[in-house]
Amino acid sequence: MQEIAISKFKATCLAVLEEVRRTGKPVRITRFGRPVAEVVPARPAKAGSWLGCLRGSGEIHGDIVGPIGAFDNWTVDE
């Protein structure tokens, strides 16, 4: 991992960020030889569909195909 002093990073910030984006290699920023921060490449955004986003989050209990109840006990009010 490349290390640069914080003063050099301050002077060349945009160039360092572009290099990290282009190469994908992180850069450690130091102050008096001690690590202060790391600049890492961003992960690509997930460009997925919302369809199926709840897959695997539900549970089925009982029979989902059979009839819901006995229709013999229903009455019709006229």
pTM of the model: 0.56
Interval 5-10 mean pLDDT = 95
Please give the pLDDT value at position 3.
95
What tens digit of pLDDT does each residue of 27-75 get? 999 999 999 999 999 887 776 778 888 888 888 887 778 777 666 677 7
Fold that domain 2-39 belongs to in CATH: YefM-like fold (3.40.1620)
CA distances from 13 to 2, 19, 35, 53, 55 (A): 14, 10, 16, 38, 43
